[in-house]
Chain A
Amino acid sequence: MSLRRLRWCAVGVLVALAACGGGSDTTGSTTVSNVTSVFAAGGPNVVTMTVTSGPPASTQNVINIPYVSVTVCSSSTSCATIDHVLVDTGSSGLRLLHSALQASGITLTQQTDPANQLDTLAECLPFAGGYSWGVTASADIRIGGESASNVPVQVIDDDGSYAPAVPKSCKAYGVNETVSSLDANGLLGVSVLAQDCGIHCASLANNGRYFSCSASACAPAAAPLQNQVVNPATLFATDNNGVILQLPAIPAAGAPSATGYLVFGIGTQNNNGLGTATVLASDNNGEFVTSFNGQMLSGSFIDSGSNGLYFTDSGLPMCQGSATQFYCPATTQDLSATNQSQTGVLLPTSFSVANVQALSKSNFALDDVAGGLGSNVNLTGNYFDWGLPFFYGRTVYVAIEGMTAGGSMGPYYAY
């Protein structure tokens, strides 16, 4: 591949990217080898990101999860590299399972509550049906050639090693999320927001997330911004205004794995410019309007942590028996929606929905996977969740709130 063409790929032109993504058979035959994208100018700000099977401890085969490896250090001499960390544009901050840290022989330094140095600062991260609970810690981290010191991270207490009991108000969110349900050794949250909670948790003790814990009990606590679990990219020396995710186009039948890149910084180096990508400015919550089927879905977002596209379409039948969160149309449906930037720019975006039950179980990278809300009753569905399938064949920019990136102010997505 010529240097010129490599550069063409790097700037993220979609058509060119589709043409240059893939080092193997991408013609849609039934046996397809792993697919690799080509981010031209490698560098210290570029790390490999792979959609593949989960960590050995996981007992299930979850599709469409992009992983990177992250090195964490408790001191300059005590470091460990944690693999299978899920790259998540739908959350902020690095969260690692205690069991994974322990297996790697590293103990991170717990953060104390700044208001009470005798106590530790813990967090209850809410999910739709549960929570991840654990102490926050301060770690030096390295991802590829990027590094930052004293990064607040969460140590997810998946093995009950953190002494105080889970607070009642945390348990009240539902079930405890651990490796078997996350299918990862941790999360690398690289959303458009810097801290996971922001001013809400800094100004309010009863914020529903942060707790000050003694050895035996926890109480709600405010967490200053500098102590909150934060997108680590914001603490890198230079490439700190956002990230880029690039995954190759894959065949309709899927691929066993797909390898692309996570790139730090936007317009900060000669390899991470916006190129011809269109900016999709979000609101302050990282959400934007998607118009689809005549609906204006104002809470929409782009989320590499969702393993399918999720939206409500009463015209698509849900799968029966297995994979029941997904749609199972008789034939693949080619659809489109339009994303609306806060600036007024419209981005028509097409996608396909296949019958997921008909796709190979050995393929972990599947492009045409979409799910609904389990029924045609739409109670909360004022959103379109552009999950991982959106990323195949695209270069997606995620610019952090309050930062100038490539000439535009975050928060924004671009593609």
Chain B
Amino acid sequence: MTQTNRGTVLACCLAGAWMGLCLPATVLAHLGGDAASVHNDRAALSGQLRTSSMLQYDAHEMTLPSGTVVHEYVARSGAVFAISWQGPSPPDLSQLLGAYFPRFTDAASAAAQGQHGLRRQLSSVQADFVVQSVAHLRTFRGKAYVPSLVPDGVAVEQLP
């Protein structure tokens, strides 16, 4: 583990300890991570970052080299409570979902056991993780969030 990673995980544990959140040490950055993790995402994905501050959260908009635009939403508590993406290819979801990525693939596997053939859309609503993803031709859109981290009064469905 690098020094940077250790620092990130420590920050994560400190920021998240009060809500029982401490993510695996191997995770660089992700949904549920802290504000610093956004910058790790930017570096890992070589994105261009633009940040705007709202009353209850900061919205970080990252444009990836692929042209896909990713939003990461960081609450005043310091936690990344939601991410979204839209563009000509999906972003690296293992990076952006981090510890929640296995939950995403579990949901996709579960959908494969249902009556779907092709899956243009994937939706999974769990108590502590919600994700929706849409794939059509050359357009990919999705959003994921952790309900327990969403600031009061923020309507996740209205976030870009």
* Interface set of A (CB-CB < 8 Å, partner B): 60-65, 86, 88, 90-92, 126-130, 168-169, 171-175, 177, 180-184, 187, 191, 193, 196-198, 200, 204, 206-209, 285-287, 299, 301, 303, 305-307, 310, 323-326, 373-375, 377-381, 383, 385
Contact = CB atoms under 8 A, between A and B. Distances in A.
Interface string B122-146: 1111000010111111111111010
A172 B92 contact: yes
B66 A204 contact: yes
B86 to A, nearest CB: 9
B65 interface: yes
A375 B123 contact: yes
B89 interface: yes
A348 to B, nearest CB: 23
A207 B68 CA distance: 10
A345 to B, nearest CB: 22
A123 B138 CA distance: 14
Contact of B115 (A129, A285, A286, A323): A323
Contact of A380 (B88, B90, B107, B142): B142
27 contacts: A62-B115, A62-B116, A86-B117, A86-B118, A128-B134, A129-B104, A129-B119, A129-B122, A173-B93, A174-B93, A175-B109, A177-B112, A191-B137, A196-B137, A197-B88, A197-B138, A286-B137, A287-B139, A307-B116, A307-B118, A323-B114, A374-B125, A374-B132, A377-B157, A380-B121, A381-B132, A383-B134
A47 to B, nearest CB: 20
B156 interface: yes
Nearest to A387: B120
Contact of B133 (A172, A207, A380): A380
Contacts of B108: 128-130, 174-175
A297 to B, nearest CB: 12
B115 A208 contact: no
A310 B111 CA distance: 15
Q: Which of A130, A303, A310 has the most CB of B within 10 A?
A: A130
Contact of A173 (B90, B120, B143): B90
Interface residues of B, number: 48
Contacts of B148: none
B95 interface: yes
Nearest to B158: A379
Given A174-B105, A307-B116, A377-B157, A206 B121 contact: no
A279 to B, nearest CB: 19
B104 A193 contact: no
B95 to A, nearest CB: 7
Nearest to B68: A208
Given A305-B117, A379-B156, A286 B122 contact: no
A206 B135 contact: no
Contacts of A173: 90, 93
A303 B124 contact: no
B120 A90 contact: yes
A148 B130 CA distance: 45
A252 to B, nearest CB: 18
B67 to A, nearest CB: 7
Interface string B62-85: 000111100000000000000010
A177 B119 CA distance: 10
B143 A379 contact: yes
Contacts of B109: 175
A191 B133 CA distance: 20
A329 B66 CA distance: 42
Contacts of B2: none
A326 B137 contact: no
Contact of B136 (A198, A287, A381): A287
